[in-house]
Structure 1
Amino acid sequence: MGGGCRYPDGIRESVHRARCKLPVPIANALAEDPQLIAAAVEAFYSRDPAQTKVCGRMERFPPEPSAMVAVRFNRVQYAKLASHGVRAPAAFQLPPPDSPDYKASVLGMKVACGFEILARGFEIQARGSQDTSRTGDEVAGAVGFLQLLDRFGYFDSEQAAPEAHAKRRAHAARA
């Protein structure tokens, strides 16, 4: 047995926790389902210029209100985000680089952008459900992601006002 990963201890050793300043719905989603971080990291890391523009607006996951939370990454996921330099989108107001919250804010911004890219992609898939080239799994994934947004608080602020809730749902469903 060479230098391979020892299971399960090797997996535990590869876990990295980092503070992130995240939009509240994303913090809630990660608290409920920590594995969502993998898709968000990959979406951010492999984004294209069109997806970068989506992050500039942050329409689905505005930066505020936010929460400072500990997020669990594997080491590769953390390295992908930490080493990937990016200019802050206009929607984000980062603290000065010498602030104790700077790294958490930058890391959270990258995670939030990953979620924004995912939401945009799933919204396009949901809208394209009439497209016969879409598989049932793709359409179900898009609808499921919108339901996940609902479940983790994306629409909570509008629960008391049904018309506002309907407007926000329509906003989340369109590109």
Structure 2
Amino acid sequence: MILIIAYGNPLREDDGAGLALAYKLDAALRHPGLVTRRIETQQLLPELAADIASDQTQAVVFADARVALSPDEQVTVTSLTSSRAASPSLGHHLDPEALLTYAGALYYRTIPPAWLVTVPGWRFGFGETLSAQTQDAISIALNDPESQLQWLVADLHRLHGMP
């Protein structure tokens, strides 16, 4: 199973972009014999470590928004690891790598391969609509065969023995 963990606030415009992308990524990954599970949350919580450490989880994809620093930014994909110099704290903010570390440490498991997919966002005010730029970035990521997201989809299909 591929676990997709999407986080962000859909009531803060582009902050909900990770949730929107995860929905479409879930559909793009659908293939006979390939199981996906999508979890949507406003922030990463330690309880998600159990889902990551599940015997069924073969790969994890985190989806989130990030503040765009230029007008032409696109969706990016970063490979993650749980190895950290310092142990994660139970502070206010939990990042994907800390969550992977929890999964490995609390459940005595080797964590599955994991990636962070971030969507550029330009507007973070109150509202439920994604900006046109963010919608365009998601569309390009899903439709451009050379996008980082399409490479990830292909890698995940190969990981599960699919063409």
Structure number with greater Rg is 1
Greater helix proportion: 1
Smaller-chain TM-score bracket = under 0.3
Greater strand proportion: 2
